């Protein structure tokens, strides 16, 4: 698809295609590279597309954890709601 500008020349109206990048390793998610190597999936925590090999392993090493979690999110410690550590000993007992 194209459009003619005022001088009579044709200008293409095609948008540049930006490849999606893996959220863990940073490589491109091209179908010709990943189709026979597992493909890709979306992490359920950070919502980034990652290679299937960049997902966290489940109980069996070749199966991936459900829900899908990337290796980067798997290595992060869980954040508390207030951001502070909570003491397990009540203040009345001290």
* Domains of the chain (ranges, CATH numbers): 17-73 (3.30.40)
Which letter does DSSP use for residue 14 in this model?
P
The three-class DSSP label of residue 75 is helix
pLDDT tens, residue by residue, 4-40: 556 666 666 666 677 788 989 988 887 666 656 678 8
pTM over 0.75: no
Give the C-alpha distances (Å, rounded to integers) separating 75 from 19, 55, 56, 69, 72. 26, 11, 9, 10, 5
Q: What is the pLDDT of residue 46?
A: 92
């Amino acid at each position: 698809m194209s459009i003619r500008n005022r001088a009579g020349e044709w200008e293409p109206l095609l948008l540049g295609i930006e490849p999606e990048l893996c959220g863990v390793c940073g490589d491109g998610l091209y179908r010709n590279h990943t189709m026979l190597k597992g493909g890709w999936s979306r992490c359920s925590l950070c919502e980034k597309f990652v290679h299937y090999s960049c997902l966290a392993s489940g109980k069996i090493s070749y199966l991936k954890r459900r829900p899908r979690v990337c290796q980067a999110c798997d290595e992060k410690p869980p954040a508390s709601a207030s951001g502070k550590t909570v003491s397990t000993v009540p203040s009345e007992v001290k």
